[in-house]
Amino acid sequence: MDKEFVKKHFVERFGCEGVAYASPGRINLIGEHTDYNGGFVFPGAVDKGMIMVIKPNGLDKVRAFAIDIDPKDEAPYVEFGLNEEDKPAEAWACYVFGVCREMQKRGVEVKGFDTAFAGDVPLGAGMSSSAALESVFAFALNEIYGEGKIDKFELARVGQSTEHNYTGCNCGIMDQFASVFGKAGCLMRLDCRSMEFEYFPFEPKGYRLVLVNTNVKHKLGDEYNQRRRSCEHVVEVLKPNYPGIETLRDVTWEMLEEAKALVPEVDYRRAKYVLGEKDRVLAVCDALEKGDYETVGAKMYETHWGMSKDYEVSCVELDFLAEVAKECGVTGCRVMGGGFGGCTINLVKDELYDNFVETAKAKFTAEFGHAPLVYDVVIGDGSRKLD
């Protein structure tokens, strides 16, 4: 991320200087599609994200410039008011507008401002560029207009509520949490029910974390929300006999077997994946404390094929990369993020790194006609002011 690049565009657009803020994207070592089911996740912030420059403008509207937006796709410059009826048409601007509205709902008197922003989170790679965008605006508006009165957890909820209420995605809390709370050199285990979390130092000696980006993002309709509804349906069916359960976090394997005859087979398989993933996150935490990276890697592969076969959020390109990783002796590999494209995250021994990257690029290009992109993962800090 280049602060000076964004500042230059801000000055050119608005004729004055502003203040810079940053929020990162994230990786998630394990624990996918568990956050909205009350389970555990294990994310970390990365050294790629969003940088935003902002300055109050004394007007009753926001003037926003998305530096990275191609004018052929959407208008990169948008002006909008701060009332509910002022929601902009451009998809990217709905994130900024939604954060403004959610901060207002929490008692922050957001007023008009000028802003420009850009990011280096690869779009569609499963590293949550949207959460980085939401978090950087929530953090900045809290400082500028809220005197810092909104705590970090609530800033993460601002981003989540923006997705729910203004972009139509009924997401969990993990992405925004990781973006706000990230800490260099650490992953975080978050209990998405209690919101308790713990930092885990993550500097594995002899291994590297590597993302391999398929550069594929299959067009989604309502697939994410459909899977959430499947999970909620299993809970609804079980609730009459087990009134204490709230999410799949509370469902045991024995309860799930009872539900098998009462729900569509697809709902059963999706719930089965979530219960397995809940167990895998805790197993990985135990393994990390012992320095047992072989177990960590085995659980990553289990997650990948669970997401592919049971939760059905993988695709042929991601499955292909998982198979190549196994052939190359990679310790662990899985699809990262919501699925349907994006990256695999790989735990690779240092001595196997060069061969794996070379082989993955060559075989993927031969199979699909374009090369994947490779990113080494650097665990970075969360939302912050840069100036």
Question: Could you list the active site residues?
Answer: 175
Closest CA to 133 of 8, 26, 5, 4: 26
DSSP, res 157: H
Phi and psi of 39, rounded to 5°? Answer: -95, -155
CA distance 143 to 108: 10
CA distance 314 to 49: 24
DSSP, res 219: P
**In the chain, which ranges are continuous DSSP H helix?**
3-14, 91-105, 129-144, 152-162, 174-181, 223-238, 253-259, 265-290, 293-309, 316-327, 353-368
In Å, the largest CA–CA distance within the chain is 65
Encoded tokens for 324: 């190549």
Q: What angle do CA 136, 128, 114 make, to 5 degrees?
A: 30
